Amino acid sequence: MTTMTEASVREFKMPDVGEGLTEAEILKWYVQPGDKVTDGQVVCEVETAKAAVELPIPYDGVVRELHFPEGTTVDVGTSIIAVEVAGAAPAEVPAQAPAAEPAQEEAAEPQGRQPVLVGYGVSTSATKRRPRKGQEAPAPQAATALQSELNGHSASAVTAPAPAPAAGQDRPLAKPPVRKLAKDLGVDLTTVVPSGPDGIITREDVHAAVAVTVAPQAPEPVTAPAAVTPAPAPAPAVTYDGTRETRVPVKGVRKATAAAMVGSAFTAPHVTEFVTVDVTRTMRLVEELKQDKDMQGLRVNPLLLIAKALLVAIKRNPEINASWDEAGQEIVLKHYVNLGIAAATPRGLIVPNIKDAHVKTLPQLAEALGELVSTAREGKTSPAAMQGGTVTITNVGVFGVDTGTPILNPGESAILAVGAIKLQPWVHKGKVKPRQVTTLALSFDHRLVDGELGSKVLADVAAVLEQPKRLITWA
């Protein structure tokens, strides 16, 4: 069989493109086998638990194989594409290594290369892979002797323990969640028949093994077969109507959001306060700013002034801009504001934030908001843009609802929900008149924000929106 030499083929592994991510879904391949690639060329787009990210290849060569099709979720560290590097030639090697010479492959990496992605660097130590299937591995005599000494026996008197896999047998392939499931259910993975790609054990395989293990065994009859009571029929498997129901796998951004919201809801004690406010003057100011030459080409809308009002309220009540450190049992006061803006995207809800929003002028804030929204709509928000937020705004009013009780973004102390702005009858200067009115809702972490502080912040936001000249007098 003809194969490539170890030095001629590079295996590009799924990098950790965020902070501590464990897997990513391959959304789209931009190359196919036979295509030439160059160092830094984007070869695929993947979706992590935080965002969609494009992956560049770190060397020149020719694509030999794509290990996974689009739509596959791959663990970080797993090879996803094989590339033959430039200048290398194939070599003839035996189809199977002799039993006396175990096959070991050294993972070679180019020297001096710099990381091209967050969390993706060059390993300085070579790693040894497991023997390929069908190839024998050397008997672990030294390990056996050491184990025997620990057990108080001589090495010569110890044989391989019964549960240990035979020589040459690979360790069962399974993802960490599947291994944990097997451990919780008491299933030995070496006894499970894999059904996943490349011999990977799936959750269904573990459950199937449990079903076989716990299946009731009919006792041997001690009397005539006619006297034996037949075992009851097993309960039917759980099914669903495929013609009227659709099941959508929860993964990527939606899976991460679900986990984060559950963690936040059951960790931070939420309190939500409401205020209804006349924002007629703010809406007039929005229209005036749209005509201002200093704001030409910028995104000017009510959200811009609401964001500015919240920044003013935080400046007047800086203790609201904080986080709770559970490990250290401390309140961490933030002397900067990274303002998060909740954005609904086809992949789910994300919360990118504007870094150092507290020092931006109104035109700078408008520019940052415009970039944030357009990037989110294109699905190009980076993981870094969603990290480090301190407070968040969620504009539920765009969906026509009055307001809501928002859940805190994990690690933050407050989130402001903005309801729909619409004409309502309102008492103004002693008379009932149609005015532009909205309802604001502020949720906060009651461990570090008491009712007085939360109320002051919400009242200040409302006051600025009712009289926007306070943007000048309070700034």
Of the candidates 67, 207, 270, 446, the residue annotated as catalytic is 446
CA 239, chain centre distance (Å): 30
Block residue for tokens 């996974």: 68
Active site residue 67: no
DSSP code for 119: T
- CB of 48 within 8 A of CB of 75? no
DSSP code for 434: E
Q: Compute, in degrees rounded to 10, the torsion defined by CA atoms 372, 374, 377, 379.
A: -70
Amino acid at 333: L
Q: Residue 34 to residues 2, 66, 72, 82: CA-CA distances in angstroms?
A: 17, 10, 21, 11
| Burial class (CB within 10 angstroms; exposed 0-12, middle 13-18, buried 19+) of 126 | exposed
CA–CA separation, 144 and 130 (whole Å): 19
Phi first, then psi: give them for residue 472, nearest 5 degrees: -90, -50
Kind plus residue range of the DSSP H or E element containing 44: strand 42-47
- CB of 32 within 8 A of CB of 63? yes
Q: Compute, in degrees rounded to 10, the torsion defined by CA atoms 387, 393, 396, 402.
A: 150
| Burial class (CB within 10 angstroms; exposed 0-12, middle 13-18, buried 19+) of 349 | middle
| Beta-sheet pairing, 270-278 with 391-395 | unpaired
Name the residue among 367, 416, 360, 371 with its Cα closest to residue 390.
416
State the catalytic residues.
Answer: 446
